[in-house]
């Protein structure tokens, strides 16, 4: 069974393996765990038989008006079962009351987010790919 939690105390780094699929220089499981704990909000989907994290979402927010959702991912073997929708629904619920919840996604994910009440708009980004693994992060 999949259980959802906003506690990031329990998972060990080895229970976070398999994420950042397709990233050329992915964060390590330890950096992933650090990132979850440093986020203002994180929700995990956990396979309760193994304790392995199969999906997660993070948000950063000023707690007054704006929140940004940098990461949402479900492990490839667990996709198409509603886990991504449920993680995002729970995060939007958590952020309720703010003026704006923003994220950037590929165009093909527009229908996925529209089902959650979001609307498309133009986004801009500035990326330093030398920092993709999270090494040398800003303090
Ligand atoms: C996007 C993602 C989180 C969805 O998780 P999931 O658990 O499979 O999602 P759900 O089962 O709740 O919903 C699946 C729906 O999303 C659609 N969807 C998911 N990924 C899609 C993609 N890449 N292109 C088009 N549609 C996609 C499915 O077709 C399905 O639509 P349906 O409800 O009409 O059948 C998952 O595919 C993933 O981790 N992708 C890689 C990372 C990523 O792109 N994250 C989003 C960052 S903005």
Protein residue with least CA distance to atom 31, ligand 1: 112
Distance 59 CA to ligand 1 centre (A): 18
User: How many A from CA of 79 to the centre of ligand 1?
Assistant: 7
Enumerate residues lining ligand 1, CB below 6 A.
72-74, 79-85, 103, 105, 108-109, 112
pLDDT of residue 96: 97
Tokens of 71: 């990461």
- Record the pTM: 0.96
Task: Give the span between the Cα atoms of 10 and 23, in whole angstroms.
Answer: 25
Beta-strand relationship, 66-68 and 72-74: unpaired
Please identify, by atom number, the ligand 1 atom nearest to the C-alpha of residue 113.
16
H-helix or E-strand spanning residue 68: strand 66-68
139 residues of the chain, pLDDT tens digit each: 999 999 999 999 999 999 999 999 999 999 999 999 999 999 999 999 999 999 999 999 999 999 999 999 999 999 999 999 999 999 999 999 999 999 999 999 999 999 999 999 999 999 999 999 998 766 5
Site to probe by mutation for ligand 1, drawn from 79, 103, 120 as the one with most ligand atoms within 8 Å of Cβ, is: 79
Q: Whose CA is nearest to atom 4 of ligand 1?
A: 84
pLDDT recorded at residue 13: 96
Residue 30 contacts residue 11 (beta carbons within 8 Å): no
pLDDT of residue 139: 58
Report d(CA 137, CA 20) in Å as an integer. Answer: 17
Residue having the nearest C-alpha atom to atom 44 of ligand 1: 73
């Amino acid at each position: 069974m999949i259980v959802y939690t906003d506690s990031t105390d329990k998972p060990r780094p080895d229970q976070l393996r398999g994420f950042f699929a397709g990233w050329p220089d992915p964060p390590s499981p330890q950096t992933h765990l650090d990132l979850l704990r440093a986020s203002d909000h994180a929700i995990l989907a956990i396979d309760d038989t193994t304790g392995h994290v199969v999906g997660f979402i993070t948000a950063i927010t000023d707690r007054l008006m704006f929140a940004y959702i940098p990461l949402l991912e479900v492990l490839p073997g667990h996709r198409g079962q509603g886990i991504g929708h449920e993680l995002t629904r729970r995060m939007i619920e958590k952020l309720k009351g703010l003026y704006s919840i923003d994220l950037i996604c590929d165009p093909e994910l527009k229908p996925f987010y529209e089902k959650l009440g979001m609307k498309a708009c133009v986004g801009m980004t500035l990326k330093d790919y030398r920092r993709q693994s999270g090494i040398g992060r800003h303090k």
